[in-house]
Structure 1
Amino acid sequence: MTGTEVRAVVGRRSAPAEDVVEFALHPVAGGELPAWEPGAHVDVVLGSGMVRQYSLCGDPADRTTYRIAVLRQADGRGGSAWLHDRLEVGEEIALRGPRNHFPLEPAGSYVFLAGGIGITPLLPMVRRVAASGAAWTLHYGGRTRASMAYLAELTDVDDLGGDCVNLVPQDEYGLIDLSAALDPAPPETAIYCCGPEPLIAAAEVACAARGLALRTERFSPREIADAVDTAFVVALAASGEELVVPAGRSIVDVLVEAGADILTSCEEGTCGTCELAVLAGTPDHRDSVLTDEERAAGDRILPCVSRASSERLVLDL
């Protein structure tokens, strides 16, 4: 499905690390782009019809420019290769959003854990927190220094915080030492983590053991163990129509087939584009976006991947 789009033109290409290209995007007609806050991402509509999500890593105060950094993924679905190989300075591209399911929240102190291209949503957060004077540390890992984007910018930010950035190239130091990163953290510390799944999974275990609040953003779907599909009914509150969602088909598939107006993008539960309100019934959450508290509330669902634990779900649609 399509939604409201903003046309942007590529103003600059740069290479902040090996296999990473940054694009500076400006509104085609001049003026300002939609406002955003640290943690936000945009949907990038590629010329091939693919839609991919990329974190905004620039300055939220600069409404004339969006910055996104794209890692070429050899085993990806083709989006990063298209952007690396096809999108040049002066070309136009369509954007949707921004959306923010990874917001920076007030806290007494912060620990940021970044792996590889996972630095992108954390970079604006670190700048914001460093400028505020709050206590913070960033632990940033990557395969090599050459593969780690924005090291120069982080040096500038570190000057604000006073030796708060811990760089961990794996070929020099191994993996991020989560015990060393988390053990000094007071209970009220907010932990933000973005990167490959092994880092996020390890951070979840480590934070749970210490009673620390962890906020994550995943670039790939989380694994759901022992998930079983059964048929259920979704009811559309506006029309009263009831639709059967059989095992093996998603709620989104059934809704679109029935002509429902629903916006989708990643269709793997990582972007949050298709989020719907649940008015009755119990969701079986399988997304990688909602927090544990949001899942427990049971009042929203990502219908591209999630299902129902009850026999019937009533959606605000």
Structure 2
Amino acid sequence: MHLLVTHKQSIAENVVALTLSDPDGCPLPAWTPGAHVDIALEPGLTRPYSLTGGVDSGVWRVAVLRVPTGRGSRYLHDVVAPGSVLRIDGPRNDFPLIPARRYVFIAGGIGITPILPMVAEVERSGAEWQLYYGGRRRASMAFLDELARYGDRVHVYPEDERGLLPLSTALRCADNGTRVYCCGPELLLDAVRRHVDERPGSTVHFERFSPAGDAVGGAFEVRLARSGHTLTVPPGKSILEVVEEAGVEVLSSCRTGTCGTCETAVLGGIPDHRDDVLSADERESGDVMMICTSRSLTPHLALDL
């Protein structure tokens, strides 16, 4: 669909918010917290952006961090203006908010964008929650004014004032009844993963727009037990891509190792897990793997496909 940019606002250092509306004035469909849209920016260039703001407001809002080396962010900051028309696909939700009695939200920098509507939703539901939000400095942290209404449930950590996010404190009470949602830079996600792996039973959900583990590493063979194929997975391609090219249908969604849709049983070999779905115990057992990002530690893998 094509949507009109009706408002563009600077909301923090190097962060702009864009409001998207139907050109004919019709209300846009409601969406669910965690959803994102894909914005076509230039020929051959499409980037995902989390929706943030009111889920049923009739307009959509995205927040964009300007990245010096990012073609997409530079385009939205420097070229797009109110009155621009953008081609939008979606929304899609690979980071859904699952009902729970208690939540811990952890956001780093622009990672606050999918977390903001989640906080609003769990506040309406009456569930217990805490948000730990970190950034380099207060001026660079978006949506602080909108978060102020929630009082002491929001813990703001500008690094130049308070240091890094206290993950041990944030996750101290992340027991079996708590769901942890995290979005932010790779270093933050990796640190949260390490803390959660040390706490068996914790349930954590990550949002990232780059794969949890990219398709590097040497080639290896995959035997598909049910379809009878033996395939070579080269460097630069995922197992999922190679399997699909062979005509084998596999359910998949995010392709970044975060949603769990492509979980596949392992019948032989040792997976090289590069996902954000499996627990430490599940990784150790090696019984299943996410074939969109994970690879192999052995020359051969056998999969139940």
What TM-score does the superposition give when structure 2 sets the normalisation length?
Answer: 0.80
For residue 94 of structure 2, the aligned residue among 98, 101, 104 is 101
Does residue 194 of structure 2 align to residue 200 of structure 1? no
Q: Residues 109 and 99 of structure 1: is their aligned pair in 2 closer, same or farther, counting only changes over 3 Å?
A: same
In the superposition, relative to structure 1, how do residues 137 and 234 fare at CA in structure 2: closer, same or farther (>3 Å)? same
1:54 aligns with 2:49: yes
Question: What corresponds to 2:301 in structure 1?
Answer: 310
Q: Which residue pairs with 1:13 in the alignment? A: 8
Distance 1:138 1:29 in 2: 38
Instruction: Give the aligned partner of residue 68 of structure 1.
Output: 62
Aligned to 1:82: 75
Residue in structure 1 matched with residue 24 of structure 2 by the alignment:
29
Determine the structure 2 residue equivalent to 1:131: 124
Task: Kindly provide the amino acid, as one letter, of the partner of residue 301 in structure 2.
Answer: S
Instruction: Please say if 1:191 is aligned against 2:167.
Output: no
Where 2:77 maps in the other structure, the secondary structure is helix
Helix, strand or coil at the partner of 2:168: helix
Q: 1:32 to 1:233 in 2, by over 3 A?
A: farther
Q: Quickly say closer, same or farther: Cα 1:290–1:205, change in 2 above 3 A.
A: closer
User: Residues 1-317 of structure 1: matches in 2 within 5 Å?
Assistant: 6-62=1-57, 64-76=58-70, 78-156=71-149, 158=150, 162-211=151-200, 212-223=202-213, 227-232=217-222, 244-248=231-235, 250=237, 269=256, 288=275, 290-291=277-278, 298=288, 301-302=291-292, 305-306=293-294, 310=301, 314=305
More off after superposition, 187-196 vs 17-26 = 187-196
In 2, are the aligned partners of 1:285 and 1:301 still within 8 Å (CA)?
Answer: no
CA distance in 1, matches of 2:23, 2:272: 39
Q: Encode CA deviations 1:151-198: one digit per residue, 9 max, x unaligned.
A: 000012x0xxx4211110000000011122222445411111111112
Distance 1:47 1:110, change over 3 A: same
Task: Indicate conservation of the 8 Å contact 1:218/1:270, yes or no.
Answer: no
Residue 3 of structure 1: aligned partner: none
Change (3 A) 1:46 1:197: same
Q: Deviation digits for residues 70-124 of structure 1, max 9, x if unmatched?
A: 1011233x11111111111111111112121211111111111110001001000
| SS across alignment from 2:111 | helix
What is the letter of the counterpart of residue 97 of structure 1? G
In the superposition, the TM-score normalised over structure 1's length comes to 0.77
Secondary structure (helix, strand or coil) at the match of 1:12 reads: strand
Where structure 1 has 5 or more consecutive residues not aligned to the other structure, the ranges are: 1-5
CA–CA separation in structure 1 for the residues paired with 2:213 and 2:241: 21
Identical residues among aligned pairs (%): 41
- Tell me the distance in 2 between the aligned counterparts of 1:215 and 1:201: 12
Give the AA of the match of 1:67.
R
Give the secondary-structure state (helix, strand or coil) at the position aligned to 2:194.
helix
Residues 37, 48 of structure 2: 8 Å contact kept: yes
1:307 CA drift (Å) = 5.6
Provide the rounded CA distance (Å) in 2 between the counterparts of 1:8 and 1:20: 21
How much is the aligned-residue C-alpha RMSD, in angstroms? 3.8
Whole-angstrom distance in 2 between the partners of 1:107 and 1:134: 7
Per-residue CA deviations over 1:231-260 (Å, capped at 9, x if unaligned) read 4467998xx9x6954523526766887899
Residue range with higher mean Cα deviation, 24-33 or 221-230: 221-230
- How many residues align? The count is 296
Could you say if the C-alpha distance between residues 28 and 258 of structure 1 is closer, same or farther in structure 2, counting changes exceeding 3 Å? farther
The answer to whether the 8 A contact 2:217-2:235 is kept is: no
User: Structure 2 counterpart of 1:193, which letter?
Assistant: C
SS in 2 for 1:45: strand
Q: Secondary structure at the match of 1:310?
A: strand
**In 2: Cα distance, 1:225 partner to 1:254 partner:** 12
